[in-house]
Structure formats: structure tokens, C-alpha cells
Amino acid sequence: MGKKDSRADLAFPYNLPDVFNTVVQVAPVMGMKVKLADNVQNVIHLDKGFSMFTWGENITVYLGVLPDGRTGVTIVSSSKLGTEISARKANYANVTELSNALYARLPGGCPQQNAAPQQ
């Protein structure tokens, strides 16, 4: 993960397919295009187009089942070009907005400390 990338680790008390489908549903509402939704490897690749300040961002969402049975979600946003001054702010905004949308749709979710999803 680069210095300008942003990441969040979340956990939800819902089964993996429900969380996966929720990510696929909320992303387009937030202006993110679903490039790939692989429910075998439990990864979703999203694209956010260019704006006035950046060339756009690639957002990857990894899902897996945590040892306690909850669904773990890791969201990583990185700039397509990686040289924009505002890249860190845009990546942070992408992760925050997607996290908040998931919290709204899946009550009971919470941030996780050092809890990467297991495959």
C-alpha cells in the first residue's frame, strides 16, 4: 500500500454473500463503477472516474470470514496515477464514504484493529 493509499478494516455480523451483495449494490450509488465482482475469491474491484483534482481511483474490497464468524471487509483505495497532490484526501474520502454506506445498510458493523479477512 502506497503512502497516498487509504485502507479500512471492518466487520459485520452478516453472512458473506449478504455483505458482498451490499457492496455491489451501494458502490454505483456512490459514483463507483463495479469493474469485477468475484464471489469465488470474494473480491470486488471498483473504479471511480477522474475529477477536477485527480485522475480517479481504484478501490478494491476484500471479504472473508473472521475467526469469530463475522464477515471481515477490507477496503483499499489507491490513485490511478499516484502523483496527484490531492490523492490522499480522495482515497480517504472513498474509503470513508463506502464504509459509512455499509454501516448504514448493515447495522451492527464496526471497525476492526488488525483484523484482515481470512480466505
pLDDT (tens digit, 9 = 90+) per residue, 21-42?
A: 999 999 999 999 999 999 999 9
Residue type, 96: T
Q: Please choose, from the candidates 27, 29, 84, the residue with its C-alpha nearest in 3D space to the C-alpha of residue 51.
A: 84
Q: 109: pLDDT confidence band, cut at 50, 70 and 90? A: confident
Percent of the chain with pLDDT over 70: 80
b or e along 60-98 (b: 16 or more beta carbons within 10 Å of the residue's beta carbon)? bbbbbebeeebbbbbbbbbbbeeebeebbebbbebbebb
Residue 45's pLDDT band (cuts 50, 70, 90): very high
- pLDDT one-digit tens code per residue, 89-108: 788 888 999 999 999 999 88
Identify the CA nearest to 56 among candidates 76, 80, 31: 80
Q: What is the pTM of this model?
A: 0.85
- Predicted confidence (pLDDT) at residue 54 exceeds the cutoff of 70: no
In the prediction, which pLDDT does 113 show? Answer: 58
From start to end of 13-52, where are the E strands?
A: 33-38, 43-48
Q: Is pLDDT above 60 for 1?
A: no
Domains of the chain: 6-111 (3.30.530.50)
Tell me the pLDDT of the chain averaged across its residues.
84
pLDDT at 83 over 90: no
Mean pLDDT of all residues in 48-75:
86
